[in-house]
Amino acid sequence: MTAKSWHLDRRTFLRGSSLLGTSISLGLPWLECMGNDSSTTTAITAKRFCSMYFGFGVSLPKEDSEDARCRWFPTSEGANYEVSHTLQPLEPLRDKLTVLGGLSHPMGRKMGAHDTGDTFLTGALLHNKFLQNTVSADQLAAEVLRDKTRFPCLVMSTDGGVGEPTRSSTLSYDIKGRPIPALNQPQQIFNRFFGAGDQDSIAEHKLLRSKAKMLDRVLADSKSIRLKLGQQDQQKLDEYLSSVRQIEQGVERSQKWLEIPRLELRDEERDLLHLDADDKAPLTYIRTMYDLIYLAFRTDSTRVATYQITNMADASSKAGKFPQLEGFKSSLHSLAHDWNKPGGAEALGPWDRLMVEQLSYFLSRLAAATERDGSILSNSVVLYGSSNSNTHNNRNYPLLLAGGANLGLKHGRYLRLGEEVPLSNLLLTMLNCVGVETERFSDSTNDLSVLTQT
Amino acid sequence: MVIRANSLLQVLCYVPVLWLVLCGNHVSGRLFAGEPQGDSPVSRATALLRSNCFSCHGEQEAEADFRLDLINTNFQNDPVTAEKWQRVLDAIRDEAMPPPDAKQLTADERRWLVNWVDGEIQQYVKSSSVTRPPRRKLTRVEYQNTMRDLLGIEMDFARDLPADPISPDGFTNDSRLLELTPVHLDAYLDSARNALQRVIVSHARPAEFHHRFERSNVSAWHGETHISSELGRQQQFLARIESAYPEQGEFLVRVSVSVELMPHCGFPLLEVAVGYRPDTQILFREFPVVEISTPGEQVYEFRGNIQDFPLPVRGQGKFPGLVVRLRNTYDDGSPLPKGVKTDGKKLVYPAEPHLPLLRVQSVEFHGPVFDTWPPAQHANIVTEIGSNGEPKRSDVRQIVTRFAQRAFRRPLSNSELRSLMKFYSEVRSDFPKFEDALRETLAFILIQPGFLFVPGTDQTQADNGKSENGKSTGEDNWVLASRLSYFLWSSMPDARLFDLAANGLLSQPEILQAEVERMLRNPKSSAFFEQFADQWLGLDLIQGVEVNKDFYPHFDAALKTEMVKESREFFAEMVRSNYSAQDFILADFSMLNESLARHYGIEGVLGNQLRRVRFPPSHHRGGLLGQAGFLLAGSTGTDSHPVRRAVWIRDRLLNDPPRPPPANVPGLDAIDSSFQQLSVREKLEVHRHDPTCASCHQDLDPWGIALENFDAVGLWREELRVSRGEEFVKSPIVAKDIFSDGFELAGPEQLKERLGCDLSDRFARSVLSRLLTYALGRPLDVMDHAATLELEKQFADSGYRMRDLLKIIVASDLFRGSTFGRNQHDR
């Protein structure tokens, strides 16, 4: 049994190798976008996506009750809304943000009271028998923006890691709905983003380098391959090589970042950082985490960031003890549970305000950082909120949308929306603002055009 | 003859070389494009076809979308036209055409025409330069099994691979469709790295944890959980390890149970699961259930890799600790007793003394477990290295060579080895330990074409290492070993096949036959039964049908899994016991276990194990056509769907799929609102009044209507139920219909007789065709025709025996790969 018919088709082979030739030049265009050292001079607006989350909702006494000053939401709607005491620290930024009421995830309404933290940015339905999440909005933004920066995203939480389903300690879920571990140590985040790299990233780089060598070798070998290639066989090999080349481009892109020097931080920026901050000193810690997002955006190291400040994992959560560590009488869970007991609103309200003060600090820094075409804030969409209005209530999330003036967002209002509007509509609008071209996100029914109209 | 202007505009074609030689003059190529010249065979053929066929297959009618007036006589490099001529040949030779009511060919004319068309096709086969894809990418399942056998560990290797494309025949191993995208390649590399991280260890012997539980140490889970050591249908045994558990490596759960069996009942089913948060399902992973058929005390062991199980996050979870959960999943189908809340809190379910009981004596957890350090999988690959220190380069070369040869399933060429060693040297300095560089080198092997592609059946010399020195002897054996193992195991060859290949023995006919027998006896052959039976019979459709609870309130969705197993096991039984192909249709038995038997109303079948069960004639069951899975797949979940069943019979059993409906036909439901109220059968009646539909459905529907006595879940019925408002309206079943040629078919018995007796040759040929398609990993075409006819003859000679068929295919030139049709003709 001998097959004599396998002559190497010279033309086919040459076609294959000429394809190889093009691959080398294909790697080049990336330099163009990577050359944009975008500290201050971004050729095209650097659009950013950012979201913060806190657990258990807020204090919401009735507007006519005696502790009404502890109510999170403003009292009147529209552009002339009267700011609440809790939101008062944001007053200087009034024209740069919108207070949103009435929104929630319809699927979240069907879920357990404390189970909705996982779906804040996904809108999925987590059933006790089927705890499968879906992709979060920030990761869709990262898909589009990742090639422009050294890191696709910065995912942070106070507790770190992924937690467990329904008690997630991350806001971010990949395209398959798998949780993305959150970073929670300032020093580690700093090393990874601004220093020589943390242990994980060093290991990643080694594997990346090794992968690049594999791909190089495959391509090199394929040139000298002495197979008796039939036409169809050549097609299969070409398909394989073309996949190799496409992956190689991604690897090259990632590797290029290793060669481009990181942007030096300014001295005053370093001085401000408390990299030794931990969860024992909550306010310093939260500010440091905010500072890290600010620096990551300022140096254009990434354009997507999520930060879960507190979650709903109750006693096992580090963030659960934050109020006590700051001199409050009880844990976050207890504060949240007792908000409508006598004196409860008075106890939770100040905590809500303290959190708003930290946000105000963060937004002010973004607003003060000028870029070629405005401030970082005006080029970023920033969502801040919870997935409970008050504890055990999965509707009417307290939400603040800030920034993005350059991306089409109009601010300065308190908008109350009906329950027929799913929160995914807001997330869709945020995605559209940062350049994700989609007409749907999760269970969205439309975009939230009111945000882009005056 | 009227020459049509538009036909003249067709591309100028040439007659086959044969005709140039024979006739010596240049004849117009398009058969019917011009006036035939002289007495050439082409003109005679033209005349015959025009007078006998054009009236239906021409300008005016174009029956079956088939126009003979436009068919080209030249098809040297035109497989599509060649296929058309093959259809013409088959129809004329089998006397299927012209139909009885049309003008007939004389015997002489028919014989001449058959010879002429056949000659043209032979010429095409000889001269065609169309080649087959010689290489086939591993399917998901093949990749999974190959990684398992190569590395010696169980893991979900294929997790991130996209689903394989499905061919029109239902197969996922079609070499033309399988693609290798960047997503695939990235997933292959990630999977290889993750797996090698587990297989090759570079850390010190880890600390071990040992636990023993005699009773549940979890008492206060919320949710409706009854915790107990006596496991009936609703109890659980939960053993929790708060923090002293490993996070990587193999673990062992040893369960000691005392078993009480009950008469007239099946056996207890021990389910062991590991995870956390017992109030959810996703946070547990179950081991395969163990059926325990002997009473008394006994011990069972379960092994897994802890990284494959849901692990709680230390210090973070609301439900800290790793939990081993035991259940008894045996269910006799009787109503569940209600739970009672004792002392106002705990839920307790009453004992059910008529059911088998598992009494848990103890549960042990050990992990990580290994017989030696480093573990066997590591030692099997990293053989040359002493206790510690940097290995010699020659040792690394040994390791890499041995691994690559197994991965590539053939000897490694010098240049391949050089390339691998070069890579090793390049990355060695990047990593602190040689094991890291070795892992990367082995991962590199696992993304190369030599690993990811199996040689196709039309390539003898694949990328065979030895071809460098021009020697071809023995090479076929390596390729054959791969083909054989991917056919019968969906995995790489084992050591014995490699040995036989290395010694050039595998291609010897007796040895090859003996290997087929050996491989079928090996448990790995379940992959073949599963892959082929599921894809041939379309068993995955079963899971896709949602059964209507209003109509079938007692239907348990878990039964669908058993239905898949029934058909799969039935196929396996046909092969293992070497049944005749007709028995797929005519058998009076099927493969049942307790739950299937309960569904069919057969008593005395106890236990989970599938076994042969004979049906009394009153059950109208036995063979493929009575299997609930097929019947459910051919239903809407509410009612039977005779068209779906009919299409399945025509496509899967007769290899004669009906043409898809024309694009502009509205769905049956779109006609009017009262239409919705009709049964599927009634809807069909309405729709056959429409002549465009009727032309196809008349010869399609009767196949499915004969099975109308089987309802959506495959149970016998005498009455049809239709939901009208709150209630069901009943009407008698009509299971009789007439084909366009007047043949009447009524009920499953007549259907079986038709398929299993009248059409048994056709059915057997169809089985062969599908099995051959799967074995070759590509659809059959005209080029295979002669070879296939030869196989059909051998199959018929064997009495259509199924295991013999596997041997016939394996021994064939088509499978062994020397062949195109053309090679055969050369002989």
Chain B interface test: which of A9, A129, A164, A238 (most B C-beta within 10 Å): A164
Closest in A167, A210, A218 to B448, CB measured:
A218
pLDDT category of residue B562 using cuts at 50, 70 and 90: very high
Which residue has better confidence, A203 or A286? A286
Cα–Cα distance, B494 to B486 (Å, whole number): 11
What single string gives the DSSP state of each residue in B332-377? -SPPPPPPEEGGGS-EE----TTS-EEEEEEEEEEES--SSSS-HH
pLDDT at B505 over 90: yes
- Test B280 with A237 for CB contact under 8 angstroms: no
Answer for the pair B473, B506: CB distance below 8 angstroms, yes or no: no
- For the segment A420-440, what is each residue's pLDDT rounded down to a tens digit? 999 999 999 999 999 999 999
Least confident range of A110-114, A178-182, B92-96, B200-204: B92-96
B819 CB burial (10 A radius; 0-12, 13-18, 19+) = buried
Cα–Cα distance, B124 to B78 (Å, whole number): 9
Tokens at B488, concatenated: 């019968």
Distance from CA of B818 to the nearest CA of A (A): 6
Answer for the pair B712, B632: CB distance below 8 angstroms, yes or no: yes
* pLDDT at position A223: 67
Q: What are phi and psi of B524, to 5 degrees?
A: -65, -20
pLDDT at A38 over 80: no
* pLDDT at position B309: 92
Cα–Cα distance, A410 to A428 (Å, whole number): 16
Reply yes or no: is the peptide bond before residue B99 cis, omega within 30 of 0: no
pLDDT category of residue A71 using cuts at 50, 70 and 90: very high
Residues in B 737-766 with any Cβ partner in A closer than 8 A? none
Which of chain B's residues have a Cβ under 8 Å away from the Cβ of A6? 459, 461
Closest in B186, B460, B461 to A247, CB measured:
B186
* pLDDT at position B672: 57
Q: What are the helix and strand counts (H, E) for chain B?
A: 31, 21
Mean pLDDT of B476-499: 95
Distance from CA of A109 to the nearest CA of B (A): 19
Tokens at A423, concatenated: 């929160």
Which of chain A's residues have a Cβ under 8 Å away from the Cβ of B440? 207, 210, 214
Cα–Cα distance, A36 to B565 (Å, whole number): 60
Tokens at B660, concatenated: 């898809």
- Test B182 with A227 for CB contact under 8 angstroms: no
Q: What are phi and psi of B230, to 5 degrees?
A: -105, 105
Is B79 at the interface with chain A, CB within 8 A?
no
Which residue has better confidence, B132 or A357? A357
* pLDDT at position B404: 97
Mean pLDDT of B701-714: 95
pLDDT at B294 over 80: yes
Least confident range of A81-85, B679-683, B805-809: B679-683
* Residue in chain A nearest B820 by alpha carbon: A3
Closest Cα partner for A314 from A390, A385, A391, A393? A391
Tokens at B83, concatenated: 């296929």
Tokens at A243, concatenated: 């996949």
Best-predicted range by mean pLDDT among A86-100, A141-155, A198-212, B208-222? A86-100
pLDDT at A1 over 50: no
Closest Cα partner for B682 from B729, B752, B741, B634? B729
Cα–Cα distance, B73 to B84 (Å, whole number): 11
* pLDDT at position A30: 29
Cα–Cα distance, A340 to A354 (Å, whole number): 19
Residues in B 775-814 with any Cβ partner in A closer than 8 A? 813
- For the segment B409-443, what is each residue's pLDDT rounded down to a tens digit? 999 999 999 999 999 999 999 998 999 999 999 99
* pLDDT at position A231: 62
Tokens at B215, concatenated: 């009773």
pLDDT at B748 over 90: yes
Which of chain B's residues have a Cβ under 8 Å away from the Cβ of A130? 281-282
* pLDDT at position B38: 60
Q: What are phi and psi of B674, to 5 degrees?
A: -70, -20
Structure pTM? 0.79
- Phi/psi-derived region of residue A294, left when phi > 0, alpha when psi is between -120 and 50, beta in every other case: alpha
Least confident range of A27-36, A189-198, B59-68: A27-36
Mean pLDDT of B496-522: 96
Answer for the pair A417, A411: CB distance below 8 angstroms, yes or no: no
- Test B443 with A246 for CB contact under 8 angstroms: no
Tokens at A353, concatenated: 């305000």
- Test A316 with B316 for CB contact under 8 angstroms: yes
**Residue whose token pair is 């659809």:** B779
Which of chain B's residues have a Cβ under 8 Å away from the Cβ of A316? 315-318, 320
- Test A210 with B276 for CB contact under 8 angstroms: no
pLDDT category of residue B671 using cuts at 50, 70 and 90: low
* Residue in chain B nearest A158 by alpha carbon: B316
Cα–Cα distance, B688 to B674 (Å, whole number): 17
- For the segment A121-150, what is each residue's pLDDT rounded down to a tens digit? 999 998 766 778 999 999 999 999 988 898
* pLDDT at position A15: 35
Residue B484 CB partners (closer than 8 Å, separation 6+): B493, B497, B506, B512, B515, B516, B519, B810
Residue B56's CB is within 10 A of a number of other CB atoms, namely 18
- For the segment A385-422, what is each residue's pLDDT rounded down to a tens digit? 999 998 889 999 999 999 999 999 999 999 999 999 99
Is B334 at the interface with chain A, CB within 8 A?
no
Distance from CA of B424 to the nearest CA of A (A): 10
Chain B interface test: which of A233, A238, A239, A251 (most B C-beta within 10 Å): A233
Tokens at A74, concatenated: 């403003």
pLDDT category of residue A19 using cuts at 50, 70 and 90: very low
Answer for the pair B778, B176: CB distance below 8 angstroms, yes or no: yes
Least confident range of A162-166, A296-300, B24-28, B394-398: B24-28
Tokens at B620, concatenated: 């109208």
* pLDDT at position B333: 84
**What is the amino acid identity at position B588?**
D
Is B444 at the interface with chain A, CB within 8 A?
yes
* pLDDT at position A65: 87
Residue B389 CB partners (closer than 8 Å, separation 6+): none
Tokens at B64, concatenated: 């079956």
* pLDDT at position B759: 94
Q: What are phi and psi of A18, to 5 degrees?
A: -70, -30
H or E, element range at A298: helix A282-298
- For the segment B67-105, what is each residue's pLDDT rounded down to a tens digit? 888 777 777 677 778 888 888 888 888 777 888 778 888
State what percent of residues in chain A have pLDDT above 70.
87
Tokens at B707, concatenated: 């099975």
* pLDDT at position B317: 64
- For the segment B228-244, what is each residue's pLDDT rounded down to a tens digit? 999 999 899 999 998 89
Is A438 at the interface with chain B, CB within 8 A?
no
- Phi/psi-derived region of residue B27, left when phi > 0, alpha when psi is between -120 and 50, beta in every other case: beta
What single string gives the DSSP state of each residue in B251-273? EEEEEEEEEE--TTS---EEEEE
How open is the CA angle A68-A72-A73, to the nearest 5 degrees? 95
pLDDT at A58 over 50: yes
Cα–Cα distance, B526 to B534 (Å, whole number): 12
Answer for the pair A375, A367: CB distance below 8 angstroms, yes or no: yes
- Test A243 with B315 for CB contact under 8 angstroms: no
State what percent of residues in chain B have pLDDT above 90.
55
* Residue in chain B nearest A160 by alpha carbon: B316
DSSP B325: E
**CB–CB contacts below 8 A, A to B:** 141
- Test B423 with A129 for CB contact under 8 angstroms: no
DSSP A395: S
Q: What is the ipTM of this complex?
A: 0.78
Closest in B185, B277, B419 to A243, CB measured:
B185
Residue B242 CB partners (closer than 8 Å, separation 6+): B320, B321
**What is the amino acid identity at position B722?**
V
* Beta bridge pairs of residue B348: B340
pLDDT at B648 over 60: yes
Mean pLDDT of B797-812: 96
Helices (H), B577-627: 583-586, 594-600
- Test A243 with B461 for CB contact under 8 angstroms: no
Q: How far is CA A72 from the centre of its chain?
A: 25
Which residue has better confidence, B346 or A224? B346
**What is the amino acid identity at position B543?**
Q
* pLDDT at position B731: 86
Distance from CA of B25 to the nearest CA of A (A): 31
- Test A2 with B319 for CB contact under 8 angstroms: no
Cα–Cα distance, B296 to B359 (Å, whole number): 10
**Residue whose token pair is 């048994």:** B760
Mean pLDDT of B578-598: 97
* pLDDT at position B747: 94
pLDDT at A358 over 60: yes
Is A211 at the interface with chain B, CB within 8 A?
yes
Residues in A 292-331 with any Cβ partner in B closer than 8 A? 313-314, 316-317
Beta-sheet pairing, A48-53 with A380-385:
parallel
- Test A214 with B443 for CB contact under 8 angstroms: yes
Which residue has better confidence, A448 or A255? A448
* Beta bridge pairs of residue B721: B730
B808 CB burial (10 A radius; 0-12, 13-18, 19+) = buried
Which of chain B's residues have a Cβ under 8 Å away from the Cβ of A226? 415, 467-468
Least confident range of B33-47, B539-553, B726-740, B765-779: B33-47
Q: Could you give the 3-state DSSP secondary structure of residue A359?
A: helix
Residue A191's CB is within 10 A of a number of other CB atoms, namely 18
pLDDT at B681 over 80: no
Kindly list the distances between the CA atom of residue B100 and the CA atoms of A43, A239, B34, B52, B738, in Å, as whole numbers in the listed order: 78, 51, 30, 12, 17
Which residue has better confidence, B662 or A394? A394
Q: How far is CA A291 from the centre of its chain?
A: 15
* pLDDT at position B553: 93
Closest in A214, A228, A233 to B444, CB measured:
A214
Answer for the pair B3, B15: CB distance below 8 angstroms, yes or no: no
Which of chain A's residues have a Cβ under 8 Å away from the Cβ of B813? 1
pLDDT at A23 over 70: no
Answer for the pair B542, B633: CB distance below 8 angstroms, yes or no: yes
Best-predicted range by mean pLDDT among B3-12, B156-165, B814-823? B156-165
Reply yes or no: is the peptide bond before residue B455 cis, omega within 30 of 0: no
pLDDT category of residue B387 using cuts at 50, 70 and 90: low
Answer for the pair B232, B335: CB distance below 8 angstroms, yes or no: no
Answer for the pair B670, B656: CB distance below 8 angstroms, yes or no: no
Best-predicted range by mean pLDDT among A114-128, B583-597, B725-739? B583-597
Answer for the pair A151, A107: CB distance below 8 angstroms, yes or no: no
Neighbour-count burial for B469-490, b at 16+ CB within 10 Å, e otherwise:
eeebebbbbbbbbbbbbbbbbb
pLDDT at B12 over 60: no
Cα–Cα distance, B250 to B308 (Å, whole number): 10
